[in-house]
């Protein structure tokens, strides 16, 4: 494997839960239930991969508040319940849990759960799992620039990158499920030179086996980073 094709940071837009549920004749929330099981499977896969150190998952965008209230309420409950359940997985596989996004939009109880799990897993180094929650990349970049301006610091590529809320590590590979081929305001800065892979598979049907195939494709791509 060449240095350029070393997969260290993997990002995934988990799309298709609602469509999966519709195909099964179920309500949309059942798709989110099934999708949460896939998160666990993919996270466990990444803990055993030889090079992956960071897994960033787009869990809830700033635009997702526009969805029906019953679905948003369900997602909030699922997130809190799921995080408490996943704590066992984090401990078992040495996963550090982090988030990016504005947590102030969530309930106090959910914020407390998130912060407690961050503290409990802060010492782990096998894998860092980052959930993008109430996250929008344009907002992240704009706020970072504003903070630099308020401190009268020069706004450069380096300073702006370091000021972002997300860890300043470029993403090597970004996957989006469900056949949609857009970024949806996800990590626009960090994806500048990432390899992008779109699959028609709906997120609840996505498997570690398919992920393994995508990673093999990534390894064999010719990454030029603007060169020849």
Please name the residue ranges forming H helices in 49-156. Answer: 69-93, 108-121, 137-150
Q: Which helix (H) or strand (E) holds 18?
A: helix 17-23
| Other beta carbons within 10 Å of 49 | 16
Buried/exposed code over 119-146 (b: 16+ C-beta within 10 A; e: otherwise) = eebeebeebbbbbbbbbbbeebbeebee
172 included as an active-site residue: no
Residue in 15, 17, 134, 172 annotated catalytic? 15
Rounded Cα gap, residues 104 and 106, in angstroms: 5
- Alpha helices in 151-207, H assignment, sequence order: 157-163
> 64 an active-site residue?
yes
Residue 214 CA to residue 208 CA, distance in Å, equals: 10
The H or E element containing residue 43 is: helix 28-48
H or E stretch covering 40: helix 28-48
| Candidate list 5, 33, 64, 205, residue with the active-site label | 64
Which of 211, 218, 200 minimizes the C-alpha distance to 39? 211
Q: Which residues are catalytic?
A: 15, 64
């Amino acid at each position: 494997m060449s240095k350029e094709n070393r997969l260290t940071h993997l990002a995934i837009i988990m799309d298709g839960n609602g469509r999966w549920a519709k195909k099964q004749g179920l309500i949309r929330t059942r798709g989110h239930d099934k999708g949460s099981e896939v998160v666990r499977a993919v996270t466990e896969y990444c803990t055993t991969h030889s090079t992956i150190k960071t897994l960033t998952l787009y869990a809830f965008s700033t635009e997702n508040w526009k969805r029906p209230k019953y679905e948003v309420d369900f997602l909030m409950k699922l997130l809190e319940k799921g995080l408490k359940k996943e704590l066992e997985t984090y401990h078992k596989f040495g996963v550090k849990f982090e988030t990016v996004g504005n947590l102030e939009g969530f309930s106090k109880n959910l914020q407390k759960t998130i912060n407690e799990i961050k503290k409990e897993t802060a010492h782990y180094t096998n894998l860092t799992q980052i959930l993008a929650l109430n996250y929008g990349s344009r907002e992240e970049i704009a706020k970072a620039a504003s903070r630099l301006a308020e401190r009268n610091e020069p706004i450069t590529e380096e300073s702006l990158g370091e000021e972002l809320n997300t860890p300043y590590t470029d993403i090597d590979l970004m996957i989006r499920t469900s056949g949609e081929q857009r970024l949806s305001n996800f990590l626009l800065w960090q994806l500048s030179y990432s390899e992008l892979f779109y699959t028609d598979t709906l997120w609840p049907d996505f498997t570690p086996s398919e992920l393994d195939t995508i990673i093999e494709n990534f390894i064999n791509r010719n990454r030029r980073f603007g060169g020849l």
